[in-house]
Amino acid sequence: MRLLFLLLGIVIGAAAFGGSASAQNYPWCAVYGGADTGGASNCGFVTFEQCLETLRGMGGFCNRNTQYIPYSRPAYR
């Protein structure tokens, strides 16, 4: 019973003090299977070359992510 309360406390503490999650934002998208097949896409690539290497041998193409917004730190005064 003590173990259950300990685990419950750890879970509640992690949820209360954990940082907020945010979606990753990357500049390149891989579209699998080619343009005419309407394949799935994955916008998780940092470089164009990384995207191309992922598609090597299975077909598809790489596009710029139109939703990409580069991270910028706030300016300190």
Q: What is the pLDDT of residues 10-64, one digit of tens each?
A: 888 777 776 665 667 899 999 988 556 667 889 999 999 999 999 998 888 999 9
- How many structural domains comprise the chain? 1
At 49 the pLDDT is 96
Alpha-helical runs (H) found in the chain: 2-17, 48-55
11 inside domain: no
**Domain containing residue 52:** 23-68
Distance CA 7, CA 11 (A): 6
- pTM equals 0.59
